[in-house]
Structure 1
Amino acid sequence: MFELDSLAASTAIYPLACAIITAAAAGPVIQIRFRAELRLIPITSGAVLISLAILPGPWAVLAAAAGMLTSQLLTQRTLLKLTFNVAKEVLAVTAASLALPLFGVTPAVSSPAGLPSPAQLSLALAAAALCYAIVDDLLGHTVLALASGVSWLQSARRNWDIVAAVRVANLALAVTIALVVRKDLWLIVAMPLTVLALQQATKSRIRRRADDEAWRRLAGATDRLNHTDLTTVLRSAVVQAPELFSADDAEIELRDATGGRLIRAAYDGPPGQAPEWGGCTITTVLGGHEGSGPVGELRLRFRTSVSLEQSEKYKLRTFASALATSIRNAIAYAELERVSDEHAYHATHDPLTGLANRRELLDRAGDAYAGRGDEGVLALLLIDLNHFKEVNDTLGHQAGDLVLCEVASRMQRAAQPQDLVARLGGDEFAVLFTGLPTPAMATHRAETLFRELESSVEVEGMRLTVEACGGIALFPGSGGVTEVLRRADVAMYQAKRSGRRITTYAHSRDPADVNRLVLGGELRRAIAEGEFVVDFQPIVDLGTGDVVSAEALARWEHPDHGCLTPMRFLETVERSDQLPAFADAVLEQSLSAVSIWREAGFDLPVAVNVSPRSLLDPGFPDAVLERLSRHAVAPDRLTLELAETLTISQLDVVGRALDDLRSAGVGLALDYFGSGVSSLSVLSRIPVHQLKIDRGFVQTVETSPEAAALIQSTVDLARSLRLVVVAEGVESEPQRRALFELGCVAGQGHLFARPMRADRVTATLQRGTAGRSGALAEPMHEAGSVVRMSRRRPSGHGRSLPHLHA
C-alpha cells in the first residue's frame, strides 16, 4: 500500500489530481468516423490506471467519474451521449479496480505498508487495463453497431490496430507515472500537465499514422479505378467510397444526352426510377475537361447528419477528381471501340443489305477450310437473280435496292445459325454451308432457301416475282476457297443456261476439268518426246543488282495448245503416274543448266519446285543425290522449293525425305510464304534455308501498309532464324526499293528478267548491265554490296549457296 503524508491531503489533493488527469485525458480524444457515427479512440485508460495505482478502488471510480463528467460537460452537447460516456467510464473503471487485489495491489490512504514491486505493479495494471478494455469495447461497439446498422464484429474490426496501440501506450504511461509518483506522492500535482502533454503527443502520432493509412487506402482505391470499362469503374467507385469515407452508401449520377445514369451498389438505371433515400447526403461534382461541363456527381449518404473534417473534404475531392478522370477515360475508350467496331463492321458487311460482303465470305470460308475435320461437310452456294436488270431499268435503282434488301432478309431467315449469307455485289449472293452431315444436305438446304424466295415482293404498289438460280460446290481437297468459288460459279451458270433452279458442280461438266483429262492422256507421250522444257528466272541481289541464283520453271511445249504454264498442267501431272518421270526430267535439265553456267564462269545455284507427292517416294532423295553426282554439282548448288500450302499431315509423312536431303547439303525453300493458312506451323516443321514471299504481297508493298507489315515481319522472322528471304514478282524500281528498305535482300521478277532458257541466261549474264558482268540492275548504293558472291570460279569447283545478308 502507498503511504500518504496526511489523511487530509490524501483525501483532497490526490483524488482531485486524479480527476483532473482523467478530465485532461478525456478531452483531446481521437475521432474516427464509422458510417454516420464517430468512434472515440479511448486515451483515458492511462489516467484511469494512474488513479487505480494511487487511490482505493471506490475513490478511483469517483475520480474517473468526476473527470469524465467535467470533460463531457465541456465538449459534449448531447445529453444522451454524455450520460452514456460517463456511465460506460464508471463501469469500465469499476471492472478494472476489481483486478488489482487479485495481484496483491490494494492502494489505500492509510499509513504506508509494503509497496508492490515494479513487476507486481506492472502485472496488476496490465490486468486492470485488460478488464477496462473489455468493458469499454463491449459497451462502445454494441452501441455503435446498433446506431450504424452493422454487425458488432464489423464495428470491432474497424481501426482495431489503432485502438490496441493506444491502449498499450496508455498502459506503459500509467506504469511509468505510478513508479515515479510512489517515490514522492506530491509529484501527483505535476502529473495533469505531464499527462496532457503525453496524451497530445500520442494523439498526434496516432493521428498521423491514421492519416497516412487513409492516404494509402485512397491511393489504392484510385488505382483500382483505372479500368477501360465504364461499368467496372462506376461499380468499383460505389463500393470503395463508403469504405474510404465511412459512409453508409454511395451513388454516382452520370449526365449525358440520353437522360443520365444512376449507379448504386444494388441499382443501375435511370435516375428517376431509383428508390428513395433518406438521411444526410454529401455531394461532390465530378468535373469535366476544360471547356466542358461536369460528367456527373458523387454522393455519399449517411443515416444521420454528418459534417466532414477539412482533411476528409480534401480526400473526397482527390477521390472525385480521380474518379472523373477514370470516367472520362472509360467513355473515350468505349467511343474508340465503338468507332473501331463500326469500321470493322463496314469493312466486312454490305452497306445496303447488312449481309457479309465478299471479303468476309472469303475470310470465313478460308477459316472453315483450314479448320475442316470431323465437323462435317463444307459447301458454297452462289445465287444470281434472274432479270434483275429489268427491275432497275423499269422501276429505278431505288426499287431495285428494295428488292435486294427483301431478298437478303428472306435468305437470312431461311439460313441456319451456323451458315453465312453474303452479298458479293450487284444481284449475286452466296451462302456458306458449314457442318453438313452429308454432301446431299447442301442441295436440301439450298431448296429450303429458294422456297423462301418464291413469294412475290411488293415494290411501289407492284408485286414482283423473284426468280433466281444457284450453283452448289463442295469444298475440294486442294485449291482452297478460290477453287470452290470457281466451281460454284461454273455450276451457277450451268443452271442459268439449262433453265434449272439449282445445279451441283460436277467434274464431268467443268470445261477446265475436261481439258485436264485431255492433257492427262498425253503426259506419257510428252515426257517421252521431251515436250517438257525448263525456263530459268534469275534471282537478283536487290542492293547490288548481281544475279545470285535462278529458279527453274517447267513449261509444256504442246504441239496443239502451244506453251502451257504449270497452272494448266501441274495438277494433272501430280495426279498421274507420270510424276516421277516429270520430276526427273525437270531436275535433269536444271542440273545441266548449272553445269553450263559453271563452264561459262558463273557458279549459280538453281531452285527447283518439288511436289509433296514426290517426297512420298522413298527413292526420291537418292535419285536427287545420284543426279547431282552425275553432273558433278555440289548439293548446296540445289534448292528444292516446297509449297507453303503443305498441310501438317503431309509434313508428318515427308519429314524423313526432307531430313535426308538437308543432311546431304541440299537447300530447302518455303514458297508462297504468307499465302497459306498455317505459315508458322509449316515453318516450324520444315528445316528450310529460304523463305519466298508471294508475289501478291510484293505487288502491293507500296500501297498497302498491311502487305508492308507482313513483309517486314517475315524479314524479321527470317533474320532471327538465319534464313534468306526472296521476293517474287518484282516488277518496278519502287517495289525493289521498298523491299530493300524493309530488309528483303533478294528478289526475282520482270524488272530484272523474264524466264528464259539456260543458254540465254548465260548470254544475259555475260552481257550484264552497264559493263558489269553478272549484273541485271544498277546498284542502289555506292558503298559495298548487300550480297557478296564470287561470279567466276575454276570449272569443277563447287561452292556453298551464297548467304544473303544485309
Structure 2
Amino acid sequence: MSFYPLAFAALLLMLRSRVRRLTATTWLDCLITGLTAAAFAAVLALGALVRAADGSVAVVVASVAYPVADLFLLGLLSGALVVIGRGAGAGWWWLAGGVALFVVTDTVYAYQVVHGIYTVGGPLDVAWSGAFVCLGLAACQPTRGGMTSRVEGRMALLVPAGCTLAAVGLLFWGYLGDGDPVAGGLALAAVLAALARTGFTFRDVRALADSRRQARTDELTGLPNRRSVFEALEAADERLAAGAAVTVLVLDLDRFKEINDSLGHAVGDALLRQVGPRLHRELRTEDFLARLGGDEFVVLCADLDGADAVTMATRLRAQLQQPFRIGGMSLTIDASVGVAVGPEHSTTAEELLQLADLAMYSAKAGRSGVAVYDDARDGSGRHRLEAVEQLRAGITGGQLLLHYQPKLALATGEVDGVEALVRWQHPTRGLLFPDAFIDLAESAGLMSRLTTAVVDMALAQCRAWADDGSLLTVSVNVSPSNLVDEEFPDEVAGALHRHGLPAAALVLEVTESILMEDRERAVRVLSRLRETGVGVSIDDYGTGYSSLAYLAALPVTELKLDRVFVGAMTGSSRAASIVTSTLQLAHALDLTLVAEGAEDQATVDALATLGCDIVQGYHLSRPLPADQLWSWLQDRKPSEVPFPS
C-alpha cells in the first residue's frame, strides 16, 4: 500500500514541472475529473463490491483498499491530463493506461477475494504485470520540456462542464432507481466542486473584463483611448461600405501647453479630466468620444451631413469655452475642431481621421475655430501622407535607382571614383530627382533607411565593376540620422563584407551642418567608420560653418569644395583666392581636395594649375546610369581626358 502515497507525490511533482502555477481552478479541475471517474467506477463495480463484502471491518477495508486507492490515483491522472492537454506526451498516457489497468485488475481481485474464488497465478497476475510494464514504458519515454500555459477560453470549461453533466446524469439515474449510495455521494461531490469551479470562472471572467476595459480606456480621463478609436474606426468602415454617412471630428485644445508650463501638469491633468463630461453634454447616446492623446480628442458620429457636423462642432467649442473651476481658479480655454465627412471626403474611416486632423490644423492656423476638410486647402497634407507611404514602399520595393557622376584625378588623368546619386522611379510620376523626395524622407523619418539602401546598391554596383576589371571608389551622401546611429558603422562594415569589397572603396559624404547638430556623437560614429578604413568627405565645404576647430578634430579624409566657389573662380579673384586657400589648407591637413561644379575646360585648367586633386562636374560628364557610365568609361581615350593645355 505504500506504493500509493509515493505515486501520488511523484505525479504531483511531474504535474508541477509541466504547469506554471497550480491554481485553485487547476486543483478543482483535477478534483472534478477524479470524482466523476470514481463515481462511474462505483456504479460499475465498486459499490456492489462493498455491499457484497462480509466479515470484519478489517477484511472489508483490506479487500477494497486497492481499487479505492487506484481510483484516486486515476482521478489525479485524469485531472492532470485535462490541465496539461494534448501536449502531455506519451509518458503521461502510458501512466494513465497502467493505472487504469490497475483499477480493473484490483477491482476484480477484490471481488474474487470477497467471494473466495481468487487463485494465485491466474490471469490477474498477468494483468498486474501488464500494468507494471505500462509504468516502465512511461519511464522510458523522453521527457517533454517546457511549461504548459494555462488553458483559456472555452477549452478551460469543456472538461469540467462535461464531468458536471455526467455527474448530474448519474444522480438522476440514481433518483429513478435504486442507485448506488457510494456513486451518488461521489457524483454529488463532483457537482459541488464544479459549482466552486464556476465561481472561480466568474471571478476570472470579471478580472479579464476589467483588464480589457483598462486596456481600452484612457487612464487620466476615463474616456476610450487610442486603441478603442481604431476599433471604432473598423466598425465605421462597415457603415461606410454600406453607404451610410460617418463624420469624424478632431478637437485640439488651444493654449493648453501654456497652462501646463505656467500652472503645472497637475492643473493641466485636472482640466483634461473635465473635458469629457463637458463634451458629452452635446453628444447623442450613439456618438463615440475618445481621447487620442495629449490634448486631442475625437468624436465619431453617424448620420450627420457637413452642415450638422459644423453645428455640432460649434456647440462642442461653446461647451469648452465656458470657464473651468480648478482648485479655486477659473480657467478659460478654446478649441480648434477639424471635420471630415464620409463618404464625401473618403470611403475609409481611418483616412477620415487623418483628414479631420488636417482640417483641425487649418482651423488652428486660421484661428477660425471650426474647419471642414477642403482638398484645395488641405490636400497638400493629404497628398504628403500618401507620398510618404509611396516612398516607404519605393525604398523596399526596388524603385530606387542610382546614377553615377565620374570624378577625375587631375594628376593621372584617370577616373578612379564616382559619386552615387539617388533617383526614384515613381510608378506614376516617372523619374524623380532628390530635390523631389529628400525633404519628404527627412521629415518622415525615412532618411536612414534610404541611405542604407543607397549604400548597399552602390556597393553592389562597385562589386560588379570590379568583377569587370575596374575597381572604382564610390561616394555616397550620408543623412543626419545615420551619423547619430551608433549601429551605422556596423551596417556599413556588414555591407562591405557582404559584397567582398575593401573599406577604401567607399567614401561617405557628410555636410558641415550635419556635424554641428550633434557633434560629439557624429565624431564618435565617424571615428568608428574611419577605423574600418572607409573614407569620410566634408561635402559642400565653405557654405556651412567651416570651423577650423572641428575640421582639425574630425576624422576626415577629403574636402569637397562647393560649386559656388569653383564655378566663379575664373571670373572672380576673390573666389579664386578662396579656392587657393582651401586647397592649401586641405594639403596642410593631408586631405584630398575635390572641386565639384567644374563646368568648362578653363575651370579644369585653373584647378590643375593650382594643384587640385580631383574635379567633378558636367564638363567631364553628367550623372549617368550604371550601364551608360560603363560604356562612357570604355569609350574614353587618354587624349580625350580634360587636362590642362
TM-score, normalization: structure 1?
Answer: 0.32
Choose 1 or 2 for highest CA Rg: 1
TM-score, normalization: structure 2?
Answer: 0.40
